[in-house]
Structure 1
């Protein structure tokens, strides 16, 4: 019986009851413990979980007895009563009445405290849990000010609301319209806004909901058309401010400084209001992002229901050699439902964990059968499509009507598709939704009972944002982290102390990144000639970068400042998201646009011959035209998936720091990474059997970025590998060294996100037994973005705890020769060859011993402290 059928039968032949209301004094922490707080009480492990009262939704998925061994840990986050206070005396009565209709009560204390700061003219950052009502904290003072100034002057003050996603801005606009405040003109201004509506917004809107991309490309370059709005600009709201990290955060920081500069040009000095459920060091992060001093409000006084957070590890199954396996039975509940290209299997027989996406599809189907409304967060677009398709297939065995209540939601859909899915989820027409991070942020999806997180989302901040989507009705809620066969996932699911009771990661944000700063200084000069005081606004690196731009002929200095020298638009020099634009995916014959992918990933995902999945349907790419940024596809359901192969090289350009410790040398600095997709493998669906390899003719990509690397004296490496030699492996140590370094590189990349605010897709690496720039065996780990984002620097600063966790994860993995849970990488361009698991442990032990941290004892190592 499939998981869905078992769930349909329920206990005693009846469906499990729906979760009951928590009552007046219940209250959750779906956003996770307050950053820096101790672990919540009531923790249950796999050994004692049967003695604890589990969330009804968790009891449902455990009704299938085969699953109980998959539950590794349950963390009980207790209900929390809220603390309400009176409305401020200065608040507009109509605004108060409108907000009371939506909140059904007085404000929580943290909302009132933040609103008082904003009303007093102080910039503020509010860091409170998911679903704690952060919107009210800025709506109350902003809407009061907009209404009062409009009554007094006729036009009144204006405000900008900035969100990291279109979905969040659209959701906020819907909330504002639901308030039905007379005289309030609020409108969304984004890439989907028609030209005639844009003109109306510039002339009439008091509150404009937009994003930093539109500020960069439209509002700031055309500031003359926005002069009236900017002159009256009083507030700038930056919602979900933790999203502005890495290179995107650097871009956003520069855009906000350009906004402040132009607002000052028109006589305005706006108050900044920032909000996030999951931001470490909120005041520091907010200051780096905006350049202004802020007051931090970190209390969360809201009421929340209890949440059970389960750590779930899919089961092992033994796969025979791929060539001996027939194509999978589509009715087999053990058949993989995700694309093996995401987690490429090996060719020989071994124990392999069931994929997180296959497991999530079953769990999502069971929850929908039980009347539980649930989101399943999946890391990739293809994974989201796969989970939705797998859940629908399992539900169809029970009821075709139930199968229609599951859908996928991801980036790349057309705007009208996204809005329709959001409304279907709110209304309950869709009860199970598989989504990428597109629904992670504060879109109002009230009424969810459970959230599945299929694969570690990259950071604790993202994890708590996703778990926080559950429990919005006041009922006991469920969050389940389903681990992938990945080093970090495996580490976390077996080390709950590294996840619970520790603060979220500090946002890595470097506003002085010259690769980011240079195009924004060009854009600022085109908007208004740069002056000496402007350079102070953009930070200490700005003066040097301006001189470089002058030397390249992009800026020209005059007595009144620096001027842009070209006829083209300076804003076209950069893409804030770091993707370099998008490639449209068009169906041949109908010319229908199916969606988009980033240019940066197009070479490996929509190359000629690639299999592409959209809304559960498979397509094969006929042609990729990079110049036209177009991929042409036709519908087809092949019996294979595709996996790109690539070559890469790293060249050291500058060394910032070096530390020598015996046979080990640790360095950091600037490198140039050259990469090229050279071909792709076709693998049989379900078995992973390689059916063939085809070459591709795609251009080389060059990336100048930052890296950390360590070298090892050959004699020390040979000695370590000789000690770890398998009696059945006759190869000399020198022949094992490439595989040992390669495996160590993969594992290190997989574990660095434990310390830095990134995931493995933000990183790259290279290992070699003899690197031309070092003359030694070398392992590089580099940021995968131009100029670097601080991730590898974080690894350099905390190398010992990073590599200690890495060697622990590899050593404790039960596999014999290496698997995706320890040393295999889902994005390896060499097909995970060669890899030597035992050799990786030996090499990492030598590095740690040289750095003063000898190999751990049999009982393991301490949990890695939070970033």
Structure 2
């Protein structure tokens, strides 16, 4: 009979393994903690109390009790507690109590993903069933059938949806939702920390539109928000909702003992400080737990990486039953597949899952024991969310963070104190971004006309409304601005990406059964769905036979090859207008409007396991143009004379590479939201320049924040280079392989000059 090790014995053998120990940078054990309880408030309906007791909730945690009291007093609040701390009761309890008291009351629940909405619907419906009270709770999303939609609009006490559906399907058709808007008492916004950057800026405007419609129907709902740990939850909640918020930050929930292990793969090339692939190390470590039937979740940072790790694990494990119980999970899978995987994780049929951050949120996926992160997820908040997926119910849990050679991963792995002691990042949104604001004003005008002197949740609008009237988008008559276009504006405005349309992925492997297997945003499609790209889906390889850019369709066919593809993006940047500039002795610091031209150029074929380049080819796609904001730093031209043009160019690329990894840490954004480009001769001033720009039309305030806090950003960049053990530069610091012996020293020198002069008495 096959012997299976327990989690404790695997941990013990890892501790005793010299090979494993040599790669452990830090082993941090978080002790378990006891719960802090309070009895149910006296005014809770007995049926609700008994239903919760049947589900094992006989008392409330302190934060749940505080949430209930604030809600009953009519206050808006944001609750910030860790994963699996019972945040759903913070809103379900006051909402259900209110509907029992007044059956006309309504509540609107907003979740950032459909998966989370489905999960929460199941939970609240189980409580309602136990209570035996006639309360209708429905999800309203793209998967809701037309027959049920009418029922939801007429009779839904609790409508569970996502911001995209609220924006494009509910608000524009508010006349069909009169009973909801007239009686709306609570608006619940879960996973608040997700609403940052461009998505958050869009959603803040959707909330402005929602409040305007509520006011029209005579309701003033309360806001209840919940969030993972971020530095500014109250500020974010207030900016997002435009209301004053109370903060609940003291957690009363218990937690299991957790082992947080920072693992750095071994160095395979000492001169270049290149480490063994994090993907291959994750395969080995996850394989060890899965072979012993220990339920494990592996997080990867991209769709491609998810599919690669899934392929590796299925090849590694010989036991057919275990192999079948390892699945992938990411955006682009169809809803039915995702529901099936979530259910399998809860009931234990699925032993292992490889996921993007789609499963980072609070979907109940049962009691996983091990969480393995392939690289640092990009923010401390995300890392803690992913870690929270393990040990949610009881017993010990293991969290392994496996670093890649990227500068950001190496910085985090070598500075565990930064991770465990640093305040979490600040979430930034800019609801007044002109591009975003104008889009939502069009939607708002379609929903209800604007009268002269009206504001948009306090924001003065006259100039913008006059502009839209001049552009013949609005019609001004009798002191009122009316929508005058046939088109329906919300349909063309995406809340989540710069591009408005997704590319549909069509599998034509079987001509008799052609089917849609997924979708992808346009910007990602440029590098992932070009002709000849290898697209991976549930561990199956597909080759893109044709990308029809006009029709937004990618036609794929199943193949079996031993490589995957990776594509390059060429970027050109020009300054349109300088808003702020300050000149120092050796450098010039600026901020303003820029235009960016991006083009996918070539793709490489990379062999599985060895990761060597085995071929390449051109990509023929049109250029994408972007008008946005950027911060920049230019060196005075005598620096080129001192270093020489070749050395200057190499060191500039090194500086850009370090900043690309360090800057997003400071502004809590995905590295892909903030791009860094180096130019040896910038078009606007002929000086060697490094640009940091927001990758979204009009910007969302990321580069502005960098411009205002440039010195600490540069300090972190210097520390990263300083701590890297390589001699002349490597992918873990300046990112330049095989460059001259002075590259690392030169990049350090340039960053030192910038740091000494940044944010010092602007002249």
TM-score by length of 2: 0.95
Indicate yes or no: 2:755 matched with 1:848: yes
What's the offset of the Cα at 1:487?
Answer: 0.7
Aligned to 2:715: 804
Aligned to 1:186: 137
Give RMSD over aligned pairs.
2.3
Aligned to 2:330: 410
- Deviation track 1:747-787 (CA, whole Å, cap 9, x = no partner) reads 11111122111121112222111112022111111111121
Question: Could you tell me which of 122, 141, 155 is aligned with 1:174?
Answer: 122
Aligned to 1:386: 308
Aligned to 1:671: 594
Distance 1:612 1:819, change over 3 A: farther
C-alpha separation in 2, matches of 1:825 and 1:385: 28
Greater Cα offset, 67-76 or 556-565: 556-565
Aligned to 1:17: 6
Aligned to 1:276: 227
Aligned to 1:554: 473
Aligned to 1:652: 575
Question: Could you tell me which of 431, 434, 439 is aligned with 2:351?
Answer: 431
C-alpha separation in 2, matches of 1:537 and 1:825: 49
C-alpha separation in 2, matches of 1:823 and 1:544: 46
- Deviation track 1:345-370 (CA, whole Å, cap 9, x = no partner) reads xxxx9552122222222222211223
On the 8 A contact 1:519/1:573 being kept in 2, the answer is: no
Aligned to 1:772: 683
C-alpha separation in 2, matches of 1:487 and 1:543: 47
Which runs of 5 or more structure 2 residues have no equivalent in the other structure? none
- Deviation track 1:125-170 (CA, whole Å, cap 9, x = no partner) reads 11112111111111111001112212xxxxx111111000111100
What secondary structure, in the 3-state scheme, does the structure 1 residue paired with 2:566 have? Answer: strand
C-alpha separation in 2, matches of 1:193 and 1:200: 11
C-alpha separation in 2, matches of 1:646 and 1:506: 29
Greater Cα offset, 705-714 or 689-698: 689-698
Aligned to 1:419: 339
What secondary structure, in the 3-state scheme, does the structure 2 residue paired with 1:161 have? Answer: strand
On the 8 A contact 1:583/1:631 being kept in 2, the answer is: yes
Distance 1:416 1:60, change over 3 A: farther
Question: Could you tell me which of 411, 420, 441 is aligned with 2:361?
Answer: 441
Matches within 5 A, 1:693-708: 693-708=616-631
Aligned to 1:260: 211
What secondary structure, in the 3-state scheme, does the structure 2 residue paired with 1:789 have? Answer: coil
Indicate yes or no: 2:364 matched with 1:364: no
Aligned to 2:252: 301
C-alpha separation in 2, matches of 1:510 and 1:835: 41
What's the offset of the Cα at 1:815?
Answer: 3.4
Aligned to 1:375: 297
Aligned to 2:74: 121
Indicate yes or no: 2:106 matched with 1:158: yes
What's the offset of the Cα at 1:834?
Answer: 14
Aligned to 2:746: 839
How many residue pairs align between the two structures? 753
Matches within 5 A, 1:31-42: none
What's the offset of the Cα at 1:477?
Answer: 1.7
Aligned to 1:570: 489
On the 8 A contact 2:379/2:665 being kept in 1, the answer is: yes
On the 8 A contact 2:236/2:427 being kept in 1, the answer is: yes
Question: Could you tell me which of 181, 195, 206 is aligned with 1:244?
Answer: 195
On the 8 A contact 1:742/1:835 being kept in 2, the answer is: no
Distance 1:369 1:174, change over 3 A: same
Distance 1:834 1:757, change over 3 A: farther
On the 8 A contact 2:565/2:606 being kept in 1, the answer is: yes
On the 8 A contact 2:407/2:731 being kept in 1, the answer is: yes
Question: Could you tell me which of 516, 519, 526 is aligned with 1:603?
Answer: 526
On the 8 A contact 2:105/2:157 being kept in 1, the answer is: yes
C-alpha separation in 2, matches of 1:834 and 1:225: 69
Question: Could you tell me which of 220, 228, 237 is aligned with 2:171?
Answer: 220
What's the offset of the Cα at 1:295?
Answer: 1.2
Greater Cα offset, 840-849 or 742-751: 840-849
What secondary structure, in the 3-state scheme, does the structure 2 residue paired with 1:425 have? Answer: helix
- Deviation track 1:93-131 (CA, whole Å, cap 9, x = no partner) reads 111111222234200111011111112211111111211
C-alpha separation in 2, matches of 1:100 and 1:834: 68
Indicate yes or no: 2:92 matched with 1:139: yes
Which runs of 5 or more structure 1 residues have no equivalent in the other structure? 1-7, 20-55, 151-155, 320-348, 722-732, 854-867
C-alpha separation in 2, matches of 1:812 and 1:581: 43
Distance 1:367 1:63, change over 3 A: farther
On the 8 A contact 1:310/1:481 being kept in 2, the answer is: yes
C-alpha separation in 1, matches of 2:454 and 2:266: 58
What's the offset of the Cα at 1:683?
Answer: 3.8
Distance 1:832 1:141, change over 3 A: farther
On the 8 A contact 1:61/1:363 being kept in 2, the answer is: no
Distance 1:743 1:551, change over 3 A: farther
On the 8 A contact 2:194/2:200 being kept in 1, the answer is: yes
On the 8 A contact 1:16/1:60 being kept in 2, the answer is: no
On the 8 A contact 2:577/2:594 being kept in 1, the answer is: yes
What secondary structure, in the 3-state scheme, does the structure 2 residue paired with 1:447 have? Answer: coil
Greater Cα offset, 687-696 or 593-602: 687-696
Aligned to 1:636: 559
C-alpha separation in 1, matches of 2:150 and 2:568: 48
On the 8 A contact 2:573/2:594 being kept in 1, the answer is: yes
C-alpha separation in 2, matches of 1:60 and 1:415: 40
What's the offset of the Cα at 1:698?
Answer: 1.1
C-alpha separation in 2, matches of 1:614 and 1:170: 23
Aligned to 2:735: 824
C-alpha separation in 2, matches of 1:57 and 1:834: 44
What secondary structure, in the 3-state scheme, does the structure 2 residue paired with 1:704 have? Answer: strand
Aligned to 1:755: 666
What's the offset of the Cα at 1:266?
Answer: 0.9
On the 8 A contact 2:708/2:759 being kept in 1, the answer is: no
C-alpha separation in 1, matches of 2:125 and 2:619: 51
Aligned to 1:346: none
What's the offset of the Cα at 1:682?
Answer: 3.1
Aligned to 2:584: 661
C-alpha separation in 2, matches of 1:277 and 1:422: 21
Indicate yes or no: 2:615 matched with 1:615: no
On the 8 A contact 2:650/2:739 being kept in 1, the answer is: no
C-alpha separation in 1, matches of 2:459 and 2:258: 43
What secondary structure, in the 3-state scheme, does the structure 2 residue paired with 1:471 have? Answer: coil
- Deviation track 1:225-245 (CA, whole Å, cap 9, x = no partner) reads 111221111111000111100
Question: Could you tell me which of 65, 69, 72 is aligned with 2:25?
Answer: 72
C-alpha separation in 2, matches of 1:354 and 1:157: 58
What secondary structure, in the 3-state scheme, does the structure 2 residue paired with 1:220 have? Answer: helix
TM-score by length of 1: 0.83
Aligned to 1:331: none
C-alpha separation in 2, matches of 1:77 and 1:451: 15
What's the offset of the Cα at 1:844?
Answer: 1.6
What's the offset of the Cα at 1:744?
Answer: 1.0
C-alpha separation in 1, matches of 2:421 and 2:718: 24
